[in-house]
Amino acid sequence: MSLDYSGRGEPLVPSLLDTDLYKLLMLQLIWRRHRDTPVTFSLVNRTRAVRLADEVAEADLRAALDEVRTLRLQPDERRWLESASIYGRPGRFAPEFLDWLEDLRLPPYRLTFAAGQLELEFSGPWAEVTLWEIPALTVVTGLRARRAVSSMSAQERDVLYGCAIGRLEEKARRLQALDGLALTDFGTRRRHSLPWQRLVVRTMRDRLGPAFRGTSNLLLARELDLPPVGTNGHELPMVLAALATHDAGLKQAQYQVLQEWQDLYDGGLRVILPDTFGTAAFLRDAPAWVAEWPALRPDSSPPIEGGEAVIAWWKSRGQDPRSKTLVFSDALDIDSIEHIHRHFQGKVGFSFGWGTKLTNDLEGCAEAPGLHPISLVCKVTEAGGRPAVKLSDNPEKATGDPAEVARYRRVFGVVGQVRRDVEV
């Protein structure tokens, strides 16, 4: 029987649970405090050299997106959300929130093709729109992969997946050698396919044992009896910043987000994401109570320099870095994981949330454009009728209206920003 993990003939997104934990955690906060705020999310291809319109058929994309709009939270899925232990306890989702979630219908989309790219947008009340982010990314990425695999013979597919499985096993072997490793799967958004992600997660679970801490994907966490894992995302400070009516409010927006998060969640769910408008500015102006949070995800800063800056900040705030956790998640590969592990071992707690190079690392196992992972994101681009901005520690990742980007850079500064090529 030929190997085929492309998922051909299956839905690209079979369930509302086929998303990341952090999306539902953020949605609950949004639903409580900001549910009717009008927003727009837009698909952004940061790998502009790849012409998505040449790799994804419009009819296939529309059919897949329409299929996502038919998804509903099922009674058994609700019961699992009620009982699942999330960072140490069940009941993270309030019954009234789950009542609302059962009635949720993802809103319509706007899709056009222009200049070799596809333009995909989702607009409406924030609570209704936000869950589009992950399905939009997995659908486009999955269609690219399916097109690549569908043109192969059975023998070529065997070579492709045999190579990829060998590569996966070699990663697991190298990871087994890392003492005190803490690794989670963060790879839903740019995965090759759901069947391949399932194989990857099962392999890591079986090879790494307790060092594999779980998956961000709720569907796979349920299927494979793994802890669901997640933090929070850039959209929260991006929206609250866009709603600010003056520069002082703009500077405080990211701390308002953390206060709202702290009012709702405790323990391991309190993970700081400081780089939306620049980590240096965030750490410089952070209230004292922020340093008490147990973990920080230095997403887009260079990992060694960024991690050391956070350690210094914790020490300056009277905190012991060895009692904290740095969560590394940006553009990881096996070499960078080994390098980061060696550097920080004994200095600070740390873990890895591994994404694209874990669940979509098939490039070179066969020659096909759709096997080359690209930097595809789905970001909030407007909130309350105003442009939303992300600066990032890497200026190549900045998004938003150019005039607003310039304003944000004036307000927050550009100290610590390092331009790096964006791969995934």
Q: Average pLDDT in the 77-97 region? A: 96
Q: What is the mean pLDDT of residues 198-219?
A: 98
Dig out the tokens for 297 from the structure.
């995800």
Nearest in space to 388 (alpha carbons), one of 235, 248, 242, 233: 242
CA distance linking residue 295 with residue 66, whole number of Å: 38
Question: In this predicted model, what pLDDT tens digit does every residue of 108-133 receive, in sequence order?
Answer: 999 999 889 999 999 999 999 999 99
pLDDT at 423: 66
* Residue 164, token pair as written in the block: 């990829």
The reported pTM is 0.96
Is the CB of residue 363 less than 8 Å from the CB of residue 372? Answer: yes
pLDDT score of 424: 67
Superfamily of domain 21-412: nicotinate phosphoribosyltransferase (3.20.140.10)
Residue-wise pLDDT for 138-157, tens only, equals: 999 999 999 999 999 999 99
Give the residue extent of every domain in the chain. 21-412
Share of the chain above pLDDT 90, in %: 90
Retrieve residue 343's tokens.
């550097």
CA 133, CA 88: separation in Å to the nearest integer?
27
Tokens of 330: 């940006």
Q: How far is CA 154 from CA 296, 368, 370, 390, in A?
A: 45, 15, 17, 44
Q: Residue 422: is its pLDDT beyond 80?
A: no
